[in-house]
Amino acid sequence: MDIELYRGYFNSLEAGRYPEWRYNEWKPCGVNYNSVLCAMSYDIHHRRFRDYRKESEEVMALLDLNANQSVIDIGCGTGAFVIHAAERCRKVYAVDVSKAMLRCARRKAKKAKLNNIEFHHGGFLTYEHRANPVDAIVSTAVLHHLPDFWKFAGLKRLAQICKAGGKLYLFDVVFSFDMNDYESRLNQWVNATGEKVGPTFAEEAKTHLREEYSTFDWIMEGLLERAGFEIETAHYANEFMASYVCTRKG
């Protein structure tokens, strides 16, 4: 057992801050982002099919982010979004449960001489936002690390730290195909992932299906609405991934 991995969790239990039944988001499920190797190779793999600057610009445009505003990136990983957001916004809170991923993001921020990013070791269920509520929250490819009930709990916590009228951008694995057809559709997804972005990601897709918690469009929409967000746009690019722009209800 990796003691380091559980230290934060047990420390918080000891401090009596959380009930013992709360989901342990510190313990990785599926892909192990706590691994230094995984963190260090993340950008190499992802930059083969992602343009971090372009996608960050798109997200910032969708959220209408400007120089006076603050934004939280939950599950910021190696900083794909936060580095670009910090060039544009007043303040960025970069939050992740993986110290290894945070270390990579911090290194990039230092190199880019960005001093308006606050890094926090925490997650959907544990991050304590001590500043004023933010104008926007972003989360890209993270929420599938929580089972559905805990997705709701995490989203509800986000709604509490987002200004009324503030925005949420959420991108994740969300299935919008006919669920009666799941076997053939999931096989297609794994194969198409292998063809488009290579064998490493085909393996990740299999790991995702076995060990992580993707959900259905109708569940995700219900969770967002019930947690306090109004869905402005829901975009189902293919039948496997989805992005939502939401407004925090007043």
Nearest-approach distance from CB 68 to ligand SAM, in angstroms: 24
| CB nearer ligand SAM, residue 41 or residue 165 | 41
**If binding is defined by CB under 6 A, does position 60 make contact with ligand SAM?**
no
Instruction: Give, as ranges, the residues between 132 and 171 that touch ligand SAM (CB under 6 A).
Output: 140-142, 145-146
**If binding is defined by CB under 6 A, does position 172 make contact with ligand SAM?**
no
The DSSP element (H or E) to which 116 belongs, if any, is none
Rg (CA), the chain: 17
87 burial (CB, 10 Å; 0-12 / 13-18 / 19+) is middle
**If binding is defined by CB under 6 A, does position 243 make contact with ligand SAM?**
no
Phi, psi (rounded to 5 degrees) for 226: -70, -25
- Work out which of 63, 65, 101, 173 binds ligand SAM, going by CB under 6 A: 101
CA 148 from centre of chain: 14
- Work out which of 56, 59, 69, 77 binds ligand SAM, going by CB under 6 A: 77
| CB nearer ligand SAM, residue 77 or residue 228 | 77
| CB nearer ligand SAM, residue 140 or residue 193 | 140
Interface with ligand SAM by CB under 6 A: which range of 9-17, 74-82, 195-203, 224-232?
Answer: 74-82
Instruction: Give, as ranges, the residues between 202 and 231 that touch ligand SAM (CB under 6 A).
Output: none
How many of the chain's residues bind ligand SAM (CB under 6 A)?
18
Give the C-alpha distances (Å, rounded to integers) separating 55 from 61, 140, 208. 10, 11, 23
CA 172 from centre of chain: 8
Tokens found for residue 185? 């559709």
CA angle 174–191–175, rounded 5-degree value: 10
Tokens found for residue 159? 């709604």
Interface with ligand SAM by CB under 6 A: which range of 10-18, 96-104, 161-169, 178-186?
Answer: 96-104
- CA nearest to 121, candidates 142, 101, 95, 140: 95
- Work out which of 60, 85, 97, 205 binds ligand SAM, going by CB under 6 A: 97
Distance CA 164, CA 135 (A): 9
Distance CA 20, CA 12 (A): 10
For the window 1-40, what string marks contact with ligand SAM as x by the rule CB under 6 A? ------------------------x-------x-------
- Work out which of 60, 65, 80, 246 binds ligand SAM, going by CB under 6 A: 80
Question: What does the binding site for ligand SAM look like in residue numbers (CB under 6 A)?
Answer: 25, 33, 74-77, 80, 96-98, 101, 123-124, 140-142, 145-146
